[in-house]
């Protein structure tokens, strides 16, 4: 049965270490526990938030007047592996419970020779969150390996399975992010994710120039899985993107703004430009922020919030901050970029009880 705890301090459950209290908290690990908790709360009309690692969440200082369903890891069948053999290759299908820590899965994939998520090493959070925002980094995204997503549909009150083609994956988005149930949560609660991996000792082709340089290979080449994981973790640590309680640069929600996709005419001279299939161009939010006058560490020492000293895209809690202070900094940066370049940045983290 789910375990109850009343109340809960949400600052203790987010990587920003910000947020007021929740009225109640339920820990649910198995599929049956998650469904029972969510369905009972919906039937009672109680606002709820399904919470994994809390790494992509900004919670208001006032907290959440509802119940948090915190995902745990089931004792059995957390990861189920099915071997597949084809005429020309060898694949493995892996079904993973939503509460499993994402980087634990990546570490196992590298150790087992499962190819396709090695560049996603070090990303905090749980497996269930990854298809919601189509997590991606260093040239990979989960949409490349997701085969199916099993969910609880809160409107239909039933279990559904979406094949990858039906997940409507896009840049840091999916149907699971877009389909809302209410202000606090989505319509679909992810129960498990099934991935399809090729077996091998070498990575998928390295698609990100910075990672390729770190590995000493050309873009499009492959490298040993373990070396790719180590290189990615090294790059992430250098940017304050691997959680470390002693390092305030990691007290963040990761990249706070997504890279904007805009009309080519809006891209400033000198800014990175990545043409998209529909004729638009994706450019760098970090470049825009930096060139609009917001350097790493802005606004400087002594404050409770700032840009990371290691990475322009991360807004950080320097200790003792309030969510309102973080949002004020985010608005200042967003509005400054808009005024300078006519491009409005969009926040990547989910906001609860507050907005940018």
Catalytic residue at 308?
A: no
Helix (H) or strand (E) holding 287: helix 285-291
Question: How far is residue 290's CA from residue 294's CA, in Å, rounded to a whole number?
Answer: 5
Q: Which of 313, 348, 356, 349 is nearest to 331 (CA)?
A: 356
Task: Please state whether the peptide bond connecting residue 299 to the residue before it is cis, i.e. omega within 30 degrees of 0.
Answer: yes
Asked if 197 contacts 109 with a C-beta cutoff of 8 angstroms, the reply is: yes
Which residue among the candidates 255, 284, 306, 308 is catalytic per the annotation?
255
Catalytic residue at 331?
A: no
Which residue among the candidates 172, 229, 236, 334 is catalytic per the annotation?
172
Q: Which residue has tokens 């938030």?
A: 49
Which residue among the candidates 33, 118, 141, 348 is catalytic per the annotation?
348
Q: Which of 219, 48, 258 is nearest to 139 (CA)?
A: 219
**Cβ within 8 Å of residue 86, ≥6 positions away:** none
Token code pair at residue 74? 């089931």
Catalytic residue at 83?
A: no
* Count of CB atoms situated within 10 Å of the CB of 45: 6
**Catalytically active residues, by annotation:** 172, 255, 348
């Amino acid at each position: 049965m789910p375990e109850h705890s009343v109340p809960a301090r949400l600052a203790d459950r987010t990587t920003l270490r910000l947020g007021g209290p929740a009225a109640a908290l339920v820990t649910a690990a198995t599929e049956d526990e998650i469904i029972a908790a969510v369905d009972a709360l919906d039937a009672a009309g109680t606002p709820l938030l399904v919470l994994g690692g809390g790494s992509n969440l900004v919670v208001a200082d006032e907290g959440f007047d509802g119940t948090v369903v915190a995902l745990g890891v089931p004792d059995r069948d957390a990861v189920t592996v099915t071997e597949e053999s084809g005429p020309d290759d060898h694949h493995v299908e892996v079904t993973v419970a939503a509460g499993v820590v994402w980087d634990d899965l990546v570490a196992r994939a590298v150790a087992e020779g499962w190819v396709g998520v090695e560049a996603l090493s070090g990303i905090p959070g749980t497996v269930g969150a990854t298809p919601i925002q189509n997590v991606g980094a260093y040239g990979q995204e989960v949409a490349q390996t997701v085969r199916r997503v099993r969910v609880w549909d809160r409107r239909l009150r039933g279990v559904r399975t979406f094949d990858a083609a039906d997940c409507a994956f896009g840049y840091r988005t999916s149907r699971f992010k877009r389909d809302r149930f209410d202000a606090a949560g989505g319509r679909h609660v992810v129960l498990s994710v099934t991935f399809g991996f090729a077996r091998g000792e070498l990575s998928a082709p390295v698609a990100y120039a910075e990672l390729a340089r770190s590995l000493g290979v050309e873009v499009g080449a492959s490298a040993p899985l373990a070396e790719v994981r180590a290189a990615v973790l090294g790059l992430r640590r250098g940017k304050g993107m691997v959680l470390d309680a002693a390092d305030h640069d990691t007290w963040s929600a990761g990249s706070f703004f997504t890279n904007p996709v805009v009309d080519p005419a809006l891209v400033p001279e000198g800014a990175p430009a990545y043409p998209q299939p529909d004729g638009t161009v994706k450019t760098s939010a970090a470049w825009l922020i930096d060139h609009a006058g917001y350097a790493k560490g802005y606004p400087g020492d002594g404050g409770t919030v700032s840009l990371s000293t290691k990475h322009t895209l991360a807004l950080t809690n320097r200790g003792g901050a309030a969510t309102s202070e973080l949002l004020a900094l985010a608005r200042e940066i967003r509005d400054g970029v808009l005024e300078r370049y006519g491009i409005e940045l969009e926040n990547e983290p989910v906001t609860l009880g507050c907005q940018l």
